Structure 1
Amino acid sequence: METFLSGEPAVVITRVAPRLWHALDDDRVAGRGEASTRPDGRMFLSIDAWHRSVFDQLADAMLADLPAPLHTIVDEADTELVAGWERAGFTTRRREWEYFVPTDAGPALPPPGVTIVPRGSASEGPLRELDRVVRAEVEASVGWPEMPAEVLPHPPGDTVVDPALYAAAAAGGEYVGLVRVVQVARLPRIGLIAVRADHRRRGIARALLADVLGALRDAGIPTASAEVNEADPAATALFEGLGARRASSNLELVRHGG
């Protein structure tokens, strides 16, 4: 047990599960640290501690036990939390803007030869095939870690958890675009929008978004949310063209070791 001056708590850090750490102050939990692996294989950390010294000790213990690289996501406005991770050696990897998207943006027709399959009506087989294609395209270009981080409970390799969450764009007997909308309390989240590389810049993404936003509007929901990588000007232009406004920003921080 370590004792700290100036009123700092004396805590013992215990690894209570393979990916869970507790900071104990006289057998009371004074802080928790947790590690989780995302679908793309990256490991993300989170720490919940009221006292700076407890945060630092939990971070030190987790870094000693886990292989690098390690990641975390923080609200950029939480400067104290950002500073804590920076003390642990983490640096900013990228910024993600959270947008509030109005659902009354109006219709957008798909290009000739393309039809929109409404959310919940997409066929599972073609949907999974398109998901594999667009993920391979992303991985061959910018890399999937550059896409918004997704935390979804699914078996390895199965990235379409619930086909009912998706709308799709169909052309020539196959799907060429998709959008996933997750209902989170009263603020639905646009978790993923993707169009096959050979069908981009035709207005398909805008038509997909207009369709799902219109359905939300008809259900009495005025606003949805979406996260956009600061380094993705096409996605930024797409959402801002629909009247979306920036609400906040998250930082992805990374520690490479050493």
Structure 2
Amino acid sequence: MNTNVFPSGRSGHAVVITRVADRQWHALEDDLVVGRGHAEHRPDGRLFVSVDAWHDAAFDRLAEAMLAHLPAPLYTVADEADTELTAGWRRAGFTVRRREWEYAVPTDPRVTGLGEVLPPSGVTIVPAGQTDEGLLRAVDRAIRAEVEAAVGWQSMPAEVIPRPEGDTLVDPSKYAVAAAPDRYLGLIRVVAVSRPRIGLVAVRAGEQRRGIARALLAHALGTLHRSGATAAWAEVHESGRAAAALFEGVGARPVSSNLELVR
């Protein structure tokens, strides 16, 4: 356990930073915990940091202590509306890497207009948990190669960036796919933790503009609606006009924006 004492905070008492675990720090002022810092590796291998502090002095001292012990590059995510938090990370030397809009997506087909949507001729939707893992990995690799050759994966949601070992599927059981007789043409990933979240919708370049993405979305939202969920959530990169149009076309509305910052 490491402890550092910094000049007085807002109350006039010194801010004491203590490393309480491998990647956890506490800020104490007059023996009270006035802030906590935490670092963790995401599935893609990147190291993300977070700080929850009562005031700027505690935030700055926590950030300083964490940055002194953690390897670069470091990443963090902040609600763009939280200008105080964003300002704190900027003081620590972080810059904005990407912006994602968070959409609330209705599931009721009477609202989305997807109740009668079917995949194009020769294409079937295979529900999550019933896909062939080999074909799923093949279409995932193919789509990633196409995106990387075009706009690059920096434009995709943060969670789908390839992990260090090269395994790009977070959990194969969470993907539904659009299937042709001999291969998969597109996929959609939905995860339900505290709320249903659409992590990815993607279709092979040569199969786009056939209604496959819309059919995948109709399947996923219909499944959620039947399970009792009234809304799902999705993140769209600010440059993702096609994805924004897809979601807005079914009644989704942006409700917030998140910034990913890097140092």
Give the TM-score normalised by structure 2.
0.86
Could you tell me which runs of 5 or more consecutive residues in structure 1 were left unpaired when the two chains were aligned: none
Task: Identify the match of residue 111 of structure 1 among 116, 120, 142.
Answer: 120
Alignment of 1:46-65 (within 5 A): 46-65=50-69
What do residues 28-72 of structure 1 show as CA deviations (whole Å, max 9, x unaligned)? 543222222333333221111112101001111222223333221
Instruction: Report if the CA contact (8 A) 1:123-1:163 is conserved.
Output: no
- Whether the 8 Å contact between 1:74 and 1:82 is mirrored in structure 2 is yes
- Pick one of 248, 251, 258 that aligns with 1:243: 251
Give the structure 2 partner of residue 159 of structure 1.
168
Note the residue ranges of structure 2 that are not aligned, 5 or more in a row.
none
> Judging changes above 3 Å, is the alpha-carbon distance between structure 1 residues 10 and 208 closer, same or farther for their aligned structure 2 residues?
same
- Alignment-derived partner of residue 189 in structure 2: 180
The one-letter amino acid of 1:87's match is: R
State the match for 1:87 in structure 2: 91
What is the CA-CA distance between 1:143 and the residue it aligns to? 2.9
Letter in 2 for 1:108: V
| 2:21 equivalent to 1:13 | no
Count of residues in correspondence between the two structures: 253
Report whether the alignment pairs 1:234 with 2:242.
yes
Q: Closer, same or farther in 2 for the Cα pair 1:139/1:39, shift >3 Å?
A: farther
Q: 1:62 to 1:143 in 2, by over 3 A?
A: farther
- State the TM-score, normalizing by the size of structure 1: 0.88
Change (3 A) 1:84 1:8: farther
Task: Measure how far apart 1:180 and its partner are.
Answer: 0.7
Supply the distance in 2 between the matched residues of 1:146 and 1:70 (Cα, whole angstroms). Answer: 19
Q: How high is the sequence identity, in percent, across the aligned residues? A: 65
- Which stretch shows the higher mean deviation, 228-237 or 159-168? 159-168
The alpha-carbon distance between structure 1 residues 60 and 111, as it changes in their structure 2 partners (threshold 3 A), is same
Q: Supply the distance in 2 between the matched residues of 1:83 and 1:155 (Cα, whole angstroms).
A: 31
Shift of 1:228: 0.6
Name whichever of 68-77 and 27-36 sits farther off. 27-36
Aligned partner letter, 2:234: A
- When the two chains are superposed, the root-mean-square deviation of aligned CA atoms in Å is 2.4
1:212 is displaced (CA, Å) by 1.0
In structure 2, give the amino acid aligned to 1:218.
R
Q: Are the counterparts in 2 of residues 168 and 178 from structure 1 also a CA contact under 8 Å?
A: yes
Where does residue 147 of structure 1 map in the other structure? Answer: 156
Distance across 1 between alignment mates of 2:48 and 2:75: 5
Q: Does 1:99 align with 2:103?
A: yes
Out of 209, 219, 223, which is 1:211 matched to? Answer: 219
